[in-house]
Amino acid sequence: MAVQLAGFLSAGQGPAAERSPVAAGNRTVTEYAPEDRGEPVALSGTGLTGEAIDIAAWRGDVVVINVWGSWCAPCREEAPILAATSAAYADQGVRFVGINVRDNSAAAIAFEESYGINYPSIDDSNGKALLSLAEHLPGAGVPVTLLLDRDGRPAARVLGAVQESTLTALVDTVLAAPIAGSS
């Protein structure tokens, strides 16, 4: 079941009621109740500089997955927000990973360097990373951001450019929740 974030987005408070996803400008924000999050997400691939990335190793941390392309204007809009938020939460058990679509490595790396993005991105020129997330990103274009709880399950999704207040509020909410099965 999706939880509407209208009150959350407009008043800076928690979700007002259980409803459909809320459209906020040119983006749609959906938060999933813990009982509706399903199984942990499997995502792995090769980073832009050739390193192996597998988010299964990050269980216990909140994970923010951002799908982007250097040619995407909304991706350029949100890139400084993602870089700053990643840095702000670096020592709080929050990991960020990008999924780059359609860029060659040089263009993708130049984009990350120009925005100060220090977290890894998967090179998804073969489409396998997006395919592994198809259940959670049906028909989504770019950018799209998926937050995973500390059990690796989808906790929230933002279709379109994420705003700083939205991202930090979602991260704070997911970070504050207990790990499933813990007291």
Q: Which of 155, 138, 158 is nearest to 38 (CA)?
A: 155
Sign, Cα dihedral of 137, 39, 170, 110: negative
Kindly state whether residue 12 falls inside one of the protein's structural domains: no
Kindly state whether residue 156 falls inside one of the protein's structural domains: yes
Kindly state whether residue 21 falls inside one of the protein's structural domains: no
pLDDT mean over 25-43:
90
Kindly state whether residue 5 falls inside one of the protein's structural domains: no
Kindly state whether residue 40 falls inside one of the protein's structural domains: yes
Question: What's the pLDDT at 140?
Answer: 67
Kindly state whether residue 42 falls inside one of the protein's structural domains: yes
How many domains is the chain partitioned into structurally? 1
Average pLDDT, rounded, for the chain: 86
- With pLDDT > 90 as the criterion, what percentage of the chain qualifies? 78
Q: 98 lies in which domain range?
A: 34-176
Kindly state whether residue 46 falls inside one of the protein's structural domains: yes
pLDDT mean over 145-163:
97
Contact (Cβ atoms closer than 8 angstroms) between residue 142 and residue 75:
yes
pTM attached to this predicted model: 0.86
How far from 65 is each of 17, 58, 80, CA to CA, in Å?
Answer: 26, 12, 15
Q: What is the CATH number of the domain that holds 171?
A: 3.40.30.10
Kindly state whether residue 78 falls inside one of the protein's structural domains: yes
